[in-house]
Structure 1
Amino acid sequence: MSVTWLLLVILVLAAIGYVMGRRRAFADADGDVRKLHSLPFYYGANVALTSVIPALMLMFVWLIVQPMIIERSLVPQIPDATIEKAGALNLVMSDVNRIAHGLDEAVSQGTMTRDFARTLQTGETDVRARLAEVGVPLASDVDPEVLEVAQSFRAMNRTGSIAMTLAVLALAVGGFAYAYMKTNREFRARKYVEAVIKALLIMAAGIAILTTLGIVLSMLFETRHFFAQYPWYRFFFGTTWAPNFRGDSDLGIIPLLWGTAYVSVIALLVAVPIGLFAAIYLSEYAGPRVRSVAKPLIEILAGIPTIVYGLFALITVGPLLRDYFAQPLGLGDSANSVATAGIVMGIMLIPFVSSLSDDIINAVPQSLRDGSLGLGATKSETIRQVVFPAALPGIIGAILLAASRAIGETMIVVLGAGAAARMDLNPFEAMTTVTVKIVSQLTGDTDFASPETLVAFALGLTLFVITLGLNVIALVIVRKYREQYE
């Protein structure tokens, strides 16, 4: 049974449990709600939650653990020569997964009989062509040993899926029966249901923390492998970025950090003043009719895909800056430049600053404005000396969000600023950023064990640390200012 159908069966069982739990509580109370310890809803919810939650938790853990167990049991079957030919074990397992899923799909769609899938042996002279005949094309030639492992993978995965289905259904039915039998008018259903809901809320709150931890740990492990092959001091203090996949690469991060900072600063110089002034006008000066039209039009900018902004930078802004500024001033002849990417990125960030700042300014209590105006201050003085200081912590948060968005942008930089890793003060020269190089180092047919590929994880971890540091500094500044203001 597929995971989708299994989920559907569990949900149907939970719905049945909800109805039957309510009915059993009512029946035990002779139809008088006043005799029940809890509201009828809680009795039904208790049966439904007891049926669903343990079963879903088991299925979730099973789906995570089963692939690990299968992969660990299949690794001894893969010859060392096959691993050396592929370059890494994970690449071999990727082929195994692709072949196994392709065979399963071909069987389910009827393009290949089960007998053929069962009898496809390792003696095939051209495994790739044979699989392509039945609708399972592969990107590269596959060894017969890999096909044999894929067949074993299919068998083990099918056995594990059957076992998971039986175990999950048994646990769901068991939870249903246990909760249903405990249901009576004296049962404290509200206490149990609220405890389960509280646990679910705590779990939901912890997902963000666990996700962040998982991201950091995954980058840390790969970054450790990178620094085992490439000196850390050359990475952090090197001024040349020249990967060549031949073992003598220069992988200094400073040119990439310079390009990232340069593009981000230009973007913020465009986005912050325009966005902040637009927010002040919309919240303090604009009438309801103007606001109802202007704010949605500004927020449309946030819904435009970044590839469209990149094309706008490539076709319009880049040639415009080149023809009217760079060439007349003798600063360059290329349409790809830091200024092109920064200006277009700043336009993209305007709604991030404007919308958030507008909401924050509107949240300032009207009593502060009235008190300032009552003391004789003008409207502009009230905005500058009362409203803006009160909204400053939130505005700083909006600017930080825009800065994080600018640091993590890739497509606009690729099309607008190019991919040249260099350090230059000329804003009309082509440069690149950390995110662009992360993509380029992981794109194509690369060896995932080489420093030129692993450097992408070191770049990602460095970018994460920089962003975290900026947020900590901003929090300290906001806290000090808030204490002075209060």
Structure 2
Amino acid sequence: MAWIYLLVAAALAALGFYAGRARAYKFRADGAAVHSLPGYHGYYVALAIIIPMAALFILWSVVEPKLLETQALNALPQAFQPVDELARATRLREIQNVAAGQTFSEIAPEVRAVGEGYAHSLLLSHWAKLVVGIALGFLGYLWAMRRLTPLFRARNTVEKIVKIVLLSCSIVAVITTLGIVFSVLFETMRFFARSPWWDFLFGLHWSPQTAMRADQVGSSGAFGAVPLFVGTTLIMFIAMLVAAPIGLFSAIYMAEYASPRVRSIAKPVLEVLAGVPTVVFGFFAALTVAPVIRRLGESAGIDVASESALAAGLVMGVMIIPFVSSLSDDVINAVPQSLRDGSYGMGATKSETIKKVVLPAALPGIVSAMMLAVSRAVGETMIVVMAAGLAANLTFNPLEAVTTVTVQIKTLLTGDQEFDSAKTLSAFALGFVLFFFTLAMNYVALQVVRRYREQYD
């Protein structure tokens, strides 16, 4: 029913737009001086319809589930009343399954009756929302049409409403970001209350497995995250050794040397890599690259692990080549042609112009592309899981198995976990450290951009 409501709201807004614009054209036909263009009158009427309908939709969608779920649970007989949150969730799932037509024989007749009543109430609620929404849209239409006059400042009003909408979106984005940061921060503080932060940041042994009971072996766990930081850095470094030169050199070729025909073919083909799912890269690393590296190592008498940081880093570097190449290509093309012409006028060759003029001028954008690639490499999970393994080894040897911060976060929060244990809380601490690492990289990139942008503006 939600899509029906949205379609009706869009249709009413479209009708309001044409009605408001027709009213403005009528003012012009009568010889009156109209302050705003007819389109702004139409937009004003459309906004007067869509805003109250959208507000009702959001408010109803928030309140409706809670009210109907509470009503359904209260309608259950006393013998079927849930005693805790788990029982409540289970009972609600049964009621919702009955309402959706997914009936099972083990569902009690009393619960089935409540589920049928829940479905009826849900249907009535949807129709009531649609009727009330249409009524609000109609009232908004009447109110807006009454305000339309030849001297009505429709353009100013519409632009003010648009500014308010844009400001609201910005506030939502900021609040969402703050909510994410503080939610991770609070869980991290809970973890540090159980495990000292210096052991976490400087400890050399990572073994987060804790026992369910105090009398079991390994009930304390070890949360030294240095092996994770080393593994993340090692794989990221290998990936950037592959992606940075190949991506940058391909961008220079496509921007400065390639013909339009070659560029029209090479650039889309290169960017196809950005659309390949990371799990496909993981399969490629595990089934093709890792065995090749192991066989090459054995032929040279070198012991290579079946899951190595080198295999994961090489494939990850291939994956992030399009990020470096595409962004660097756009930045190089944005360098003013006058800088190139001035260099050629001074007698510089094409290669000298690229090295001495184009690349220094494009350096802020290239640095931003590199930082984005680093962030992409640090945040990758599937390739590391499939090609580098889960072993938290403290080693700088790329031929051994390592793991990363993101892989451990995925492992710690997968499956049925107790979120009040140090094991799961450590995942939030890892996420918080990763957040500050990304923030530091963005700060470095911003400083480079500011410094060189002043030089070339």
1:420 match: secondary structure: coil
2:93 counterpart residue number: 98
Q: Distance in 1 between matches of 2:118 and 2:192?
A: 34
1:190 counterpart residue number: 155
Quote the offset at 1:300 in angstroms. 1.7
The 1:295–1:182 alpha-carbon spacing in structure 2 relative to 1, beyond 3 Å, is same
Q: Given the alignment of the two structures, is residue 277 of structure 1 paired with residue 242 of structure 2, yes or no?
A: no
The 1:43–1:483 alpha-carbon spacing in structure 2 relative to 1, beyond 3 Å, is closer
Q: Given the alignment of the two structures, is residue 417 of structure 1 paired with residue 388 of structure 2, yes or no?
A: yes
2:236 counterpart residue number: 264
- Residues 137-176 of structure 1: pairs in structure 2 closer than 5 A: 164-165=129-130, 167-176=132-141
2:300 match: secondary structure: helix
TM-score normalised by length of structure 2: 0.87
> 1:132-152, CA deviations, whole angstroms, 9 ceiling, x for partnerless residues?
x99xxxxxxxxx9x9999899
Q: Where do 5+ consecutive residues of structure 1 fail to align?
A: 84-88, 113-127, 135-143
Q: Which amino acid aligns with 1:174?
A: L
2:448 match: secondary structure: helix
Q: Distance in 2 between matches of 1:8 and 1:452?
A: 47
Q: Given the alignment of the two structures, is residue 200 of structure 1 paired with residue 165 of structure 2, yes or no?
A: yes
Q: Distance in 1 between matches of 2:182 and 2:112?
A: 33
The 1:157–1:37 alpha-carbon spacing in structure 2 relative to 1, beyond 3 Å, is same
The 1:453–1:320 alpha-carbon spacing in structure 2 relative to 1, beyond 3 Å, is same
Q: Distance in 2 between matches of 1:211 and 1:67?
A: 23
2:427 counterpart residue number: 456
How many pairs does the alignment contain?
447
> 1:212-237, CA deviations, whole angstroms, 9 ceiling, x for partnerless residues?
22322332333344334444333323
Q: Distance in 1 between matches of 2:432 and 2:31?
A: 59
2:416 counterpart residue number: 445
The 1:70–1:449 alpha-carbon spacing in structure 2 relative to 1, beyond 3 Å, is farther
Quote the offset at 1:81 in angstroms. 9.1
Q: Say if 1:96 and 1:150, in contact at 8 Å, map to a contact too.
A: no
Question: Which has the higher mean CA deviation after the structures are superposed, 405-414 or 4-13?
Answer: 4-13
1:216 equivalent among 153, 165, 181: 181
Q: Given the alignment of the two structures, is residue 50 of structure 1 paired with residue 48 of structure 2, yes or no?
A: yes
Quote the offset at 1:47 in angstroms. 1.2
Q: Say if 1:96 and 1:149, in contact at 8 Å, map to a contact too.
A: no
1:405 equivalent among 361, 376, 384: 376
Q: Distance in 2 between matches of 1:103 and 1:446?
A: 29
> 1:32-70, CA deviations, whole angstroms, 9 ceiling, x for partnerless residues?
465333222222221111110132123224433555677
1:324 match: secondary structure: helix
Quote the offset at 1:293 in angstroms. 2.3
> 1:233-252, CA deviations, whole angstroms, 9 ceiling, x for partnerless residues?
33323222212241422222
Quote the offset at 1:272 in angstroms. 0.1
Q: Distance in 1 between matches of 2:337 and 2:239?
A: 33
> 1:275-314, CA deviations, whole angstroms, 9 ceiling, x for partnerless residues?
1111111211222232222222211221221111111111
Q: Say if 1:282 and 1:358, in contact at 8 Å, map to a contact too.
A: yes
- Residues 363-374 of structure 1: pairs in structure 2 closer than 5 A: 363-374=334-345
Q: Which amino acid aligns with 2:97?
A: G
1:4 counterpart residue number: 3
Q: Say if 2:367 and 2:448, in contact at 8 Å, map to a contact too.
A: no
Q: Say if 1:33 and 1:39, in contact at 8 Å, map to a contact too.
A: no
Q: Which amino acid aligns with 2:52?
A: P
Q: Given the alignment of the two structures, is residue 314 of structure 1 paired with residue 314 of structure 2, yes or no?
A: no
1:179 counterpart residue number: 144
Q: Which amino acid aligns with 1:392?
A: L
The 1:81–1:176 alpha-carbon spacing in structure 2 relative to 1, beyond 3 Å, is closer
1:39 equivalent among 18, 37, 40: 37
Q: Which amino acid aligns with 1:432?
A: T
Quote the offset at 1:179 in angstroms. 0.9
The 1:395–1:171 alpha-carbon spacing in structure 2 relative to 1, beyond 3 Å, is same
Question: Which has the higher mean CA deviation after the structures are superposed, 212-221 or 267-276?
Answer: 212-221
Q: Say if 2:187 and 2:428, in contact at 8 Å, map to a contact too.
A: yes
> 1:286-344, CA deviations, whole angstroms, 9 ceiling, x for partnerless residues?
22232222222211221221111111111111011111136634343x22100000000
Q: Which amino acid aligns with 1:235?
A: F
Q: Distance in 2 between matches of 1:245 and 1:228?
A: 16
1:125 counterpart residue number: none
The 1:339–1:225 alpha-carbon spacing in structure 2 relative to 1, beyond 3 Å, is same
1:124 counterpart residue number: none
Q: Which amino acid aligns with 1:200?
A: V
Q: Where do 5+ consecutive residues of structure 2 fail to align?
A: 212-218
Q: Say if 2:82 and 2:88, in contact at 8 Å, map to a contact too.
A: no
Q: Given the alignment of the two structures, is residue 292 of structure 1 paired with residue 261 of structure 2, yes or no?
A: no
Q: Distance in 1 between matches of 2:288 and 2:299?
A: 16
1:471 counterpart residue number: 442
> 1:347-390, CA deviations, whole angstroms, 9 ceiling, x for partnerless residues?
11111111111111111111111111211222221111111000
The 1:197–1:66 alpha-carbon spacing in structure 2 relative to 1, beyond 3 Å, is same
Q: Which amino acid aligns with 2:22?
A: R
1:120 counterpart residue number: none
Q: Which amino acid aligns with 1:466?
A: F
1:349 counterpart residue number: 320
TM-score normalised by length of structure 1: 0.82
2:399 counterpart residue number: 428
Q: Which amino acid aligns with 1:216?
A: V
2:214 counterpart residue number: none
Q: Say if 1:219 and 1:460, in contact at 8 Å, map to a contact too.
A: yes
1:139 counterpart residue number: none
Q: Say if 2:409 and 2:427, in contact at 8 Å, map to a contact too.
A: yes
2:29 match: secondary structure: coil
The 1:398–1:162 alpha-carbon spacing in structure 2 relative to 1, beyond 3 Å, is same
1:35 match: secondary structure: coil
Indicate the RMSD between aligned Cα atoms, in angstroms: 3.2
Q: Distance in 1 between matches of 2:422 and 2:68?
A: 29
Q: Distance in 2 between matches of 1:129 and 1:446?
A: 30
Q: Distance in 1 between matches of 2:105 and 2:425?
A: 33
Question: Which has the higher mean CA deviation after the structures are superposed, 31-40 or 310-319?
Answer: 31-40
Q: Given the alignment of the two structures, is residue 254 of structure 1 paired with residue 226 of structure 2, yes or no?
A: yes
Q: Distance in 2 between matches of 1:277 and 1:405?
A: 20
